[in-house]
Amino acid sequence: MTGMLALVLMAPLAVSAARAQTPATGPALIEHVTDLVHRHFYDPDAAARIWPQALEEHAATLSSDPSDNEIEAAVDAMLAALGASHTDLYTADEQAYYELLDIFARRDWRAEIRSLFPGGRIAYTGIGVVTKIIEGRTFLAGVHHGGPAARAGLLVGDEIVEADGRPFDPVASFAGRAGRSIALEIRRSENGPIETVDVVPVRIRPNAFFLEAMRASARVIARGGRDFGYIRIWSYARRDYHAC
Protein backbone atom coordinates (compact mmCIF):
# COMPACT_ATOMS: atom_id res chain seq x y z
CA MET A 1 0.00 0.00 0.00
CA THR A 2 1.91 3.06 -1.23
CA GLY A 3 1.23 6.66 -2.07
CA MET A 4 -1.51 8.87 -0.72
CA LEU A 5 -4.46 7.72 1.32
CA ALA A 6 -7.65 8.98 -0.25
CA LEU A 7 -10.39 8.93 2.35
CA VAL A 8 -13.50 10.68 1.11
CA LEU A 9 -16.12 11.69 3.66
CA MET A 10 -19.15 13.30 2.11
CA ALA A 11 -22.75 14.26 2.61
CA PRO A 12 -24.98 16.56 0.59
CA LEU A 13 -23.74 20.10 1.22
CA ALA A 14 -20.88 18.85 3.44
CA VAL A 15 -17.88 17.54 1.55
CA SER A 16 -14.40 16.92 2.88
CA ALA A 17 -11.64 15.06 1.06
CA ALA A 18 -8.88 14.13 3.48
CA ARG A 19 -5.49 12.82 2.51
CA ALA A 20 -2.04 12.09 3.90
CA GLN A 21 0.97 9.93 3.28
CA THR A 22 -0.16 6.39 3.93
CA PRO A 23 1.20 5.02 7.22
CA ALA A 24 3.41 1.97 6.83
CA THR A 25 1.82 -0.34 9.37
CA GLY A 26 -1.69 -1.62 10.01
CA PRO A 27 -2.25 -0.10 13.43
CA ALA A 28 -0.88 3.26 12.27
CA LEU A 29 -3.20 3.29 9.27
CA ILE A 30 -6.22 2.51 11.41
CA GLU A 31 -5.23 5.22 13.89
CA HIS A 32 -4.86 7.69 11.04
CA VAL A 33 -8.28 6.85 9.56
CA THR A 34 -9.79 7.14 13.04
CA ASP A 35 -8.35 10.64 13.33
CA LEU A 36 -9.70 11.62 9.91
CA VAL A 37 -13.17 10.33 10.74
CA HIS A 38 -13.30 12.30 13.98
CA ARG A 39 -12.07 15.47 12.27
CA HIS A 40 -13.88 15.33 8.93
CA PHE A 41 -17.02 13.16 9.09
CA TYR A 42 -20.05 15.36 8.44
CA ASP A 43 -21.92 14.08 11.53
CA PRO A 44 -19.51 14.19 14.50
CA ASP A 45 -22.12 12.89 16.94
CA ALA A 46 -22.66 9.77 14.82
CA ALA A 47 -18.91 9.28 14.48
CA ALA A 48 -18.44 9.51 18.24
CA ARG A 49 -21.24 7.01 18.82
CA ILE A 50 -20.58 4.45 16.06
CA TRP A 51 -16.85 4.50 15.38
CA PRO A 52 -15.52 3.16 18.72
CA GLN A 53 -17.72 0.07 18.45
CA ALA A 54 -16.77 -0.51 14.80
CA LEU A 55 -13.11 -0.05 15.66
CA GLU A 56 -13.27 -2.56 18.48
CA GLU A 57 -15.18 -5.10 16.38
CA HIS A 58 -13.11 -5.02 13.19
CA ALA A 59 -9.63 -4.15 14.42
CA ALA A 60 -9.81 -7.13 16.75
CA THR A 61 -10.17 -9.48 13.77
CA LEU A 62 -6.76 -8.57 12.35
CA SER A 63 -3.85 -10.96 12.74
CA SER A 64 -0.63 -9.90 14.43
CA ASP A 65 0.95 -9.30 11.01
CA PRO A 66 -1.96 -8.36 8.73
CA SER A 67 -1.64 -8.04 4.97
CA ASP A 68 -2.52 -4.84 3.13
CA ASN A 69 -5.74 -6.46 1.92
CA GLU A 70 -6.74 -7.41 5.47
CA ILE A 71 -6.09 -3.88 6.69
CA GLU A 72 -8.08 -2.32 3.85
CA ALA A 73 -10.98 -4.74 4.39
CA ALA A 74 -11.10 -3.87 8.10
CA VAL A 75 -11.07 -0.13 7.38
CA ASP A 76 -13.77 -0.52 4.71
CA ALA A 77 -15.95 -2.44 7.17
CA MET A 78 -15.49 0.23 9.82
CA LEU A 79 -16.39 3.01 7.39
CA ALA A 80 -19.45 1.05 6.23
CA ALA A 81 -20.64 0.95 9.84
CA LEU A 82 -21.10 4.73 9.67
CA GLY A 83 -24.01 4.09 7.31
CA ALA A 84 -23.21 7.04 5.04
CA SER A 85 -22.91 7.10 1.27
CA HIS A 86 -19.81 8.58 -0.36
CA THR A 87 -17.64 7.42 2.53
CA ASP A 88 -14.86 5.04 1.59
CA LEU A 89 -11.16 4.24 1.56
CA TYR A 90 -9.40 4.29 -1.81
CA THR A 91 -5.89 3.11 -2.62
CA ALA A 92 -3.67 3.45 -5.69
CA ASP A 93 -4.96 0.05 -6.87
CA GLU A 94 -8.33 1.61 -7.73
CA GLN A 95 -9.44 4.00 -10.49
CA ALA A 96 -11.54 6.00 -8.04
CA TYR A 97 -8.35 6.91 -6.12
CA TYR A 98 -7.05 8.90 -9.10
CA GLU A 99 -10.44 10.27 -10.09
CA LEU A 100 -11.30 11.59 -6.64
CA LEU A 101 -7.83 13.01 -6.05
CA ASP A 102 -8.02 14.92 -9.33
CA ILE A 103 -11.55 16.17 -8.72
CA PHE A 104 -11.09 17.27 -5.11
CA ALA A 105 -7.37 18.15 -5.01
CA ARG A 106 -6.70 21.46 -3.29
CA ARG A 107 -3.85 23.87 -3.90
CA ASP A 108 -2.26 23.11 -0.54
CA TRP A 109 -1.88 19.46 -1.60
CA ARG A 110 0.51 20.33 -4.44
CA ALA A 111 3.72 19.27 -2.71
CA GLU A 112 2.36 15.83 -1.87
CA ILE A 113 0.87 15.36 -5.33
CA ARG A 114 4.14 16.34 -7.02
CA SER A 115 5.96 13.74 -4.93
CA LEU A 116 3.69 11.02 -6.33
CA PHE A 117 2.90 12.15 -9.88
CA PRO A 118 5.45 13.55 -12.38
CA GLY A 119 4.85 17.25 -12.91
CA GLY A 120 2.12 17.19 -10.29
CA ARG A 121 -0.40 15.87 -12.81
CA ILE A 122 -2.62 13.14 -11.39
CA ALA A 123 -2.88 10.35 -13.95
CA TYR A 124 -3.05 6.59 -14.43
CA THR A 125 -3.01 4.29 -17.45
CA GLY A 126 -6.37 2.90 -18.50
CA ILE A 127 -8.90 2.43 -21.28
CA GLY A 128 -11.84 4.54 -20.11
CA VAL A 129 -14.26 2.15 -18.46
CA VAL A 130 -16.26 1.78 -15.27
CA THR A 131 -16.24 -1.77 -13.93
CA LYS A 132 -18.48 -3.66 -11.53
CA ILE A 133 -17.77 -6.96 -9.81
CA ILE A 134 -20.74 -9.34 -9.76
CA GLU A 135 -20.24 -12.73 -8.10
CA GLY A 136 -16.51 -12.53 -8.69
CA ARG A 137 -16.81 -11.59 -12.37
CA THR A 138 -15.91 -8.20 -13.87
CA PHE A 139 -18.47 -6.43 -16.05
CA LEU A 140 -18.43 -3.05 -17.78
CA ALA A 141 -20.88 -0.69 -16.11
CA GLY A 142 -19.77 2.26 -18.23
CA VAL A 143 -17.68 3.02 -21.30
CA HIS A 144 -16.38 6.58 -21.62
CA HIS A 145 -17.33 8.17 -24.93
CA GLY A 146 -14.38 8.66 -27.26
CA GLY A 147 -11.98 6.69 -25.06
CA PRO A 148 -9.85 3.67 -25.99
CA ALA A 149 -12.49 1.14 -24.90
CA ALA A 150 -15.21 2.87 -26.91
CA ARG A 151 -12.99 3.04 -29.98
CA ALA A 152 -12.21 -0.67 -29.63
CA GLY A 153 -15.93 -1.50 -29.60
CA LEU A 154 -16.34 -2.51 -25.95
CA LEU A 155 -19.90 -2.20 -24.67
CA VAL A 156 -21.69 -1.76 -21.36
CA GLY A 157 -22.52 -5.25 -20.09
CA ASP A 158 -19.44 -6.93 -21.53
CA GLU A 159 -17.74 -9.33 -19.14
CA ILE A 160 -13.96 -8.89 -19.11
CA VAL A 161 -12.41 -12.30 -18.57
CA GLU A 162 -8.68 -11.74 -19.10
CA ALA A 163 -6.14 -9.17 -20.25
CA ASP A 164 -3.24 -10.63 -22.23
CA GLY A 165 -3.95 -14.03 -20.72
CA ARG A 166 -4.02 -12.83 -17.11
CA PRO A 167 -6.86 -12.01 -14.70
CA PHE A 168 -8.27 -8.58 -15.50
CA ASP A 169 -7.77 -5.59 -13.21
CA PRO A 170 -8.88 -2.09 -14.30
CA VAL A 171 -5.63 -0.51 -13.06
CA ALA A 172 -2.95 -3.21 -12.80
CA SER A 173 -3.69 -4.71 -16.23
CA PHE A 174 -2.64 -1.47 -17.94
CA ALA A 175 0.05 -0.07 -15.63
CA GLY A 176 3.16 0.90 -17.60
CA ARG A 177 1.57 -0.13 -20.91
CA ALA A 178 0.28 3.12 -22.37
CA GLY A 179 0.38 3.04 -26.15
CA ARG A 180 0.80 -0.75 -26.36
CA SER A 181 -1.99 -3.01 -27.57
CA ILE A 182 -3.53 -5.37 -25.03
CA ALA A 183 -5.77 -8.32 -25.93
CA LEU A 184 -8.90 -8.44 -23.80
CA GLU A 185 -10.92 -11.62 -23.69
CA ILE A 186 -14.58 -10.74 -23.29
CA ARG A 187 -17.95 -12.46 -23.11
CA ARG A 188 -21.11 -10.72 -24.32
CA SER A 189 -23.76 -13.15 -23.12
CA GLU A 190 -24.18 -15.63 -20.29
CA ASN A 191 -22.13 -18.74 -21.14
CA GLY A 192 -21.47 -17.19 -24.56
CA PRO A 193 -18.29 -17.57 -26.60
CA ILE A 194 -15.09 -15.78 -25.66
CA GLU A 195 -14.17 -12.96 -28.03
CA THR A 196 -10.86 -11.11 -28.26
CA VAL A 197 -10.79 -7.32 -28.48
CA ASP A 198 -7.53 -5.42 -28.90
CA VAL A 199 -7.37 -2.11 -27.03
CA VAL A 200 -4.59 0.44 -26.62
CA PRO A 201 -4.51 2.05 -23.15
CA VAL A 202 -3.58 5.70 -22.68
CA ARG A 203 -2.49 7.93 -19.82
CA ILE A 204 -5.68 9.28 -18.30
CA ARG A 205 -5.89 12.57 -16.43
CA PRO A 206 -9.35 12.12 -14.93
CA ASN A 207 -10.67 15.69 -15.02
CA ALA A 208 -9.67 16.30 -18.63
CA PHE A 209 -10.74 12.80 -19.64
CA PHE A 210 -14.22 13.17 -18.13
CA LEU A 211 -14.64 16.53 -19.84
CA GLU A 212 -13.67 15.14 -23.24
CA ALA A 213 -15.95 12.12 -22.74
CA MET A 214 -18.86 14.45 -21.98
CA ARG A 215 -18.18 16.46 -25.12
CA ALA A 216 -17.85 13.29 -27.20
CA SER A 217 -21.21 12.03 -25.91
CA ALA A 218 -23.18 15.11 -27.01
CA ARG A 219 -25.61 14.51 -29.83
CA VAL A 220 -29.05 15.39 -31.15
CA ILE A 221 -31.54 12.52 -31.31
CA ALA A 222 -34.60 12.81 -33.56
CA ARG A 223 -37.75 11.10 -32.30
CA GLY A 224 -41.34 11.56 -33.38
CA GLY A 225 -40.60 14.69 -35.37
CA ARG A 226 -38.80 16.34 -32.47
CA ASP A 227 -35.11 16.82 -31.71
CA PHE A 228 -33.69 15.96 -28.29
CA GLY A 229 -30.28 16.98 -27.01
CA TYR A 230 -28.28 14.28 -25.20
CA ILE A 231 -25.10 14.44 -23.13
CA ARG A 232 -23.72 11.85 -20.71
CA ILE A 233 -22.63 13.51 -17.46
CA TRP A 234 -19.57 11.60 -16.29
CA SER A 235 -18.87 14.04 -13.47
CA TYR A 236 -20.50 17.25 -12.24
CA ALA A 237 -18.14 18.23 -9.46
CA ARG A 238 -16.30 21.11 -11.13
CA ARG A 239 -17.25 24.37 -12.83
CA ASP A 240 -15.67 23.36 -16.16
CA TYR A 241 -18.09 20.41 -16.26
CA HIS A 242 -20.99 22.80 -15.74
CA ALA A 243 -19.75 24.98 -18.61
CA CYS A 244 -19.49 21.96 -20.91
Instruction: Verify that 113 and 140 share a domain, yes or no.
Output: no
Instruction: Verify that 156 and 228 share a domain, yes or no.
Output: no
The pLDDT assigned to 17 comes to: 43
208 vs 206: CA distance, rounded Å: 6
Residue 74, Cα to own-chain centre: how many angstroms? 19
Burial of 222 (0-12, 13-18, 19+ CB in 10 A): exposed
Instruction: Verify that 92 and 24 share a domain, yes or no.
Output: yes
pLDDT band at 216 (very low <50, low <70, confident <90, very high): very high
Instruction: Verify that 82 and 134 share a domain, yes or no.
Output: no
The pLDDT assigned to 6 comes to: 53
- What are the pLDDT digits (tens) for 145-175? 999 999 999 999 999 999 999 999 999 999 9
Name 151's Cβ contacts closer than 8 Å, sequence gap at least 6. none
Instruction: Verify that 89 and 196 share a domain, yes or no.
Output: no
Last residue of a domain, one of 120, 139, 174: 120
Note down the domain range covering 145.
Answer: 124-203
The pLDDT assigned to 193 comes to: 96
Question: Taking the model in full, what pTM does it have?
Answer: 0.82
The pLDDT assigned to 59 comes to: 81
Instruction: Verify that 223 and 199 share a domain, yes or no.
Output: no
Bridge partners, residue 140, by sequence: 131
116 vs 52: CA distance, rounded Å: 33
Helices (H), 134-204: 148-152
Instruction: Verify that 109 and 10 share a domain, yes or no.
Output: yes
Instruction: Verify that 21 and 95 share a domain, yes or no.
Output: yes
Bridge partners, residue 185, by sequence: 162, 196
- At residue 29, does pLDDT exceed 60? yes
Q: Domain containing 134 — which CATH number?
A: 2.30.42.10
The pLDDT assigned to 10 comes to: 43
Instruction: Verify that 83 and 128 share a domain, yes or no.
Output: no
Task: Let me know the angle formed at the C-alpha of 178 by 173 and 179, rounded to the nearest 5 degrees.
Answer: 125
How many distinct structural domains can be found in the chain? Answer: 3
Instruction: Verify that 29 and 78 share a domain, yes or no.
Output: yes
Instruction: Verify that 83 and 149 share a domain, yes or no.
Output: no
Instruction: Verify that 28 and 86 share a domain, yes or no.
Output: yes
